[in-house]
Protein backbone atom coordinates (compact mmCIF):
# COMPACT_ATOMS: atom_id res chain seq x y z
CA UNK A 1 0.00 0.00 0.00
CA UNK A 2 1.27 3.47 -0.86
CA UNK A 3 1.59 6.10 1.83
CA UNK A 4 -1.38 8.43 2.29
CA UNK A 5 -1.00 12.06 3.36
CA UNK A 6 -2.94 14.34 5.66
CA UNK A 7 -2.31 18.00 6.43
CA UNK A 8 -2.34 18.87 10.12
CA UNK A 9 -1.64 21.97 12.18
CA UNK A 10 1.63 22.45 14.04
CA UNK A 11 2.05 20.09 17.00
CA UNK A 12 4.70 19.50 19.66
CA UNK A 13 3.54 16.16 21.05
CA UNK A 14 1.87 13.00 19.80
CA UNK A 15 -0.73 10.90 21.62
CA UNK A 16 -1.33 7.41 20.21
CA UNK A 17 -4.23 5.21 21.32
CA UNK A 18 -4.89 1.57 20.50
CA UNK A 19 -2.58 -0.83 18.73
CA UNK A 20 -1.08 1.64 16.28
CA UNK A 21 2.61 1.70 15.36
CA UNK A 22 4.02 5.20 14.83
CA UNK A 23 7.37 6.02 13.23
CA UNK A 24 8.60 9.60 13.44
CA UNK A 25 10.86 11.25 10.87
CA UNK A 26 12.05 14.83 10.78
CA UNK A 27 10.80 17.01 7.95
CA UNK A 28 10.36 20.64 7.00
CA UNK A 29 6.77 19.88 6.00
CA UNK A 30 3.90 19.98 8.47
CA UNK A 31 1.81 16.92 7.81
CA UNK A 32 1.35 13.23 8.31
CA UNK A 33 2.12 10.35 5.98
CA UNK A 34 0.68 6.98 6.92
CA UNK A 35 0.19 3.43 5.72
CA UNK A 36 -2.68 1.29 6.91
CA UNK A 37 -2.25 -2.46 7.04
CA UNK A 38 -4.88 -3.88 9.40
CA UNK A 39 -7.52 -1.17 9.87
CA UNK A 40 -10.00 0.28 7.42
CA UNK A 41 -8.92 3.85 6.62
CA UNK A 42 -12.35 5.23 7.52
CA UNK A 43 -11.70 4.07 11.12
CA UNK A 44 -8.39 5.90 11.48
CA UNK A 45 -8.52 9.25 13.30
CA UNK A 46 -5.66 11.75 12.90
CA UNK A 47 -6.41 15.17 14.38
CA UNK A 48 -4.99 18.07 16.32
CA UNK A 49 -6.10 18.68 19.89
CA UNK A 50 -4.42 21.73 21.34
CA UNK A 51 -0.69 21.34 20.67
CA UNK A 52 -0.93 17.55 20.36
CA UNK A 53 -1.43 15.31 17.37
CA UNK A 54 -3.90 12.54 18.18
CA UNK A 55 -3.65 9.19 16.33
CA UNK A 56 -6.25 6.54 17.12
CA UNK A 57 -8.94 4.33 15.71
CA UNK A 58 -12.61 5.20 16.14
CA UNK A 59 -13.85 3.91 19.48
CA UNK A 60 -10.46 4.30 21.26
> What is residue 17's predicted lDDT score, i.e. its pLDDT?
93
pTM to 2 decimal places: 0.81
pLDDT band at 1 (very low <50, low <70, confident <90, very high): low
8-54 pLDDT tens trace: 999 999 999 988 888 888 888 878 888 888 778 888 999 999 999 99
> What is residue 39's predicted lDDT score, i.e. its pLDDT?
75
Phi-psi bin for 50: left (phi > 0), alpha (psi -120 to 50), beta? left
> What is residue 50's predicted lDDT score, i.e. its pLDDT?
95
**Half-sphere exposure at residue 29, Cβ-oriented, CA atoms within 13 angstroms:** 8
Amino acid sequence: MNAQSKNVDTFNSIEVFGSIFVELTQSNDEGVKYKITKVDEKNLVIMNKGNSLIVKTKGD
